[in-house]
Structure 1
């Protein structure tokens, strides 16, 4: 009886392990469709075009990746702070939104290799004497909620190699452009946001605003994918590498980023 019970239990355990292995294998696969979350408030990486559709460098990148994978791409626009939650609930399987790879975000999602390196910048009124991030100590600073600018202005580190630079009186916005509007109206002292979007916002308000670039450390934009999906991560990395190698990356960068300067 004991021998029979032992054999039976061993069979159940083996079947359980086999089932678990199959489940993990099924989870780690390239999805049939790329359901992409973005926040189209971050030009030139993502924005709404004249046809009210998400556009920009990031959108062009993920569409090119989907094309090379022979997969359909569906882009969903949402608040930046909602992106990771949407992935955790399986509403999306991909995020491309000028998202910096951080230790905290890696607890919830996996990241591809970097496709762009950025820095932080400060948007100020023309007559401001502020020249670096540390001078924002105690100032009213606008940020887009959940972004690296939010992390920095809140007195936190966004990477192991980065240090705490400043602790400000943070005001959070759903859109970077709303923070810029409040700066123009005198409600806040500065806006901290990534360099390229900052250039876009200042260019559109050149008579009233100026830009100061003061790096808190290099930031690496990556594509976020569902946690644990190794097969998909490897395929994304493969396509990023190919896009860079054959010159397509440079063409997209020239069209969307370099032309915006």
Structure 2
């Protein structure tokens, strides 16, 4: 059974994919002897190795001077850095993109680990465990949080956060009464609800707000409090697509 699928650059179908079973390895680099040849002068002859395990994979960086980055395309900026010479770094992502810096270019290929397994919740007597973050997705504060997270969830992990005015405009189709004051109030409420550490009282108000927004989005994306499917609650565009 193949547990790991490697998708080379430019691959346009299953025929071009490379599949490895648990315990098997795949070497990549510039030299022709590699299983995955990346013909670029900035890539090491023997650049690294991918080894499959049952539901995850490990990456060895055989270069002497380049750090590799493994991105989670679904993780709003989540990534793992693998330093030069590092061996057997575990990669937990179900979908991943390996990025290799190469003489001014950024080259990449994808690795899929579709055999991820999850434990079924056990049925037990007694009181339920209190949720870590009690958020109601039907409330307006959650719509504000989703609007703040939207750019980074849509594949721009380093983009600046929306301004308060941009959040107001984003929410107005489904919340006509939205205004700057109501968005400010909801940001403050979220900071209290999610137990963020308060800023020093001497800081400027605008700086406090920006820091609070950044902290909220960082926490929400780190713990999957807002996911891409939550953006469906935001207003669609005229053609029916969710506004980017």
TM-score normalised over the length of structure 1: 0.24
TM-score normalised over the length of structure 2: 0.25
Greater percentage in helix: 1
Of the two structures, which has the highest relative contact order with CA contacts closer than 8 Å and spacing of 6 or more? 1
Greater percentage in strand: 1
